[in-house]
Chains A and B, each alone.
Chain A
Amino acid sequence: MAELRTERPTRTNAGPGRLLIAVYLLFAIAATSRAGLQILTRFDEAPLAYLLSALAAVVYIVAAVGLARAGHAGRRVALACCTAELVGVLGVGAFSLARPDLFPDETVWSGFGSGYGYIPLVLPVLGLAWLWFTRARG
């Protein structure tokens, strides 16, 4: 594949973007399987935490698809997802510290993603930065 490289990439699904998509995929797999298992086997123990895990899983999947599809719609989807993630990880992170009784079991976003090496906190920032970096020049 010949490289048609201008001075700045404008596609979200090439180069560093593909690394980002790969990490999103890993998190989509991790969050989906975790949430699926929690909801199937012990939903009653911590319904809020497990529903949030499921929500996080969906957001990761949609974000990965949005980044991979690129284009206008893909970018908008990715933007919405990265924003939702950032809000989610900050909100759930703060809530899990303030009201641990609401979160008897961990979610991907508990403690600002501390159970996953804080990557859930870094990932949406990288996603937003990447969307900004590849924006169409106006």
Chain B
Amino acid sequence: MNAAGSPVDGVPSVVAIVLSLLVAAWALVAALRHRPPDRVQLIGLAVLELVLLGLAVLAGVALTGGEQPGEPGAFFGYLVTLLCLPPLAAVLARMEPTRWGSAIVCAVCLVTPVVVVRLQQTWQVLGG
């Protein structure tokens, strides 16, 4: 493993995971309190999407620099899925302005960190 390492490891992905879990916790509290998705959840999803886009840009930069993910197919599959998750949560949350909308935001924000970790694993396979 060289010093540059994987573009999807490090600070941006940690920020994405922590932020996602924070939004999930916030949404869970809202769901338990019978609250529909609020501004904080939607802004949290937007910021999360920006961080994930940043992650995608970092991966793109690494690719143009000649690096390769271990499993390219799976890597790009996870990357595209990852980028779709916050918008999906936002759309479904707007469709369901009840406590269950908050529950949807919570569920999606619990899945996002898993996908980030899978993304890291699919980059690494060959890189180790």
Residues of A at the B interface (CB closer than 8 Å) are 1, 14-16, 18-19, 22-23, 25-26, 29-30, 33-34, 37, 40-41
Contacts of A1 in B (CB 8 A): 97
Whether the pair B81, A23 counts as a contact (CB closer than 8 A) is: no
Q: Which residue of B lies closest to A17 (CB)?
A: B100
Interface residues on B, range: 10 to 19
- List 24 A-B pairs, Cβ < 8 Å: A1-B97, A15-B96, A15-B98, A16-B100, A18-B96, A18-B100, A18-B104, A19-B96, A19-B104, A19-B107, A22-B88, A22-B92, A22-B104, A22-B107, A22-B108, A23-B107, A25-B88, A26-B107, A26-B108, A26-B111, A29-B81, A33-B81, A37-B73, A40-B73
Contacts of B88 in A (CB 8 A): 22, 25
Name the residue in A19, A23, A41 with the highest tally of chain B Cβ atoms < 10 Å from its Cβ.
A19
The majority secondary structure among interface residues of chain A is: helix
Contacts of A34 in B (CB 8 A): 77
B103 interfacial contact with A, CB 8 Å? yes
> How far does the alpha carbon of A30 sit from the alpha carbon of B74 in the complex, in Å?
11
> How far does the alpha carbon of A121 sit from the alpha carbon of B55 in the complex, in Å?
32
Whether the pair A14, B96 counts as a contact (CB closer than 8 A) is: yes
Distance in Å: Cβ of A50 to nearest Cβ of chain B: 14
> How far does the alpha carbon of A14 sit from the alpha carbon of B100 in the complex, in Å?
9
Contacts of B95 in A (CB 8 A): 18
Q: Which residue of A lies closest to B81 (CB)?
A: A29
> How far does the alpha carbon of A91 sit from the alpha carbon of B19 in the complex, in Å?
38
Contacts of B81 in A (CB 8 A): 29-30, 33
* Extra pairs beyond A26-B111, A40-B73 (15, CB < 8 Å): A1-B97, A15-B96, A15-B100, A16-B103, A18-B95, A18-B100, A18-B101, A19-B96, A19-B103, A22-B104, A22-B107, A29-B84, A33-B77, A33-B81, A37-B73
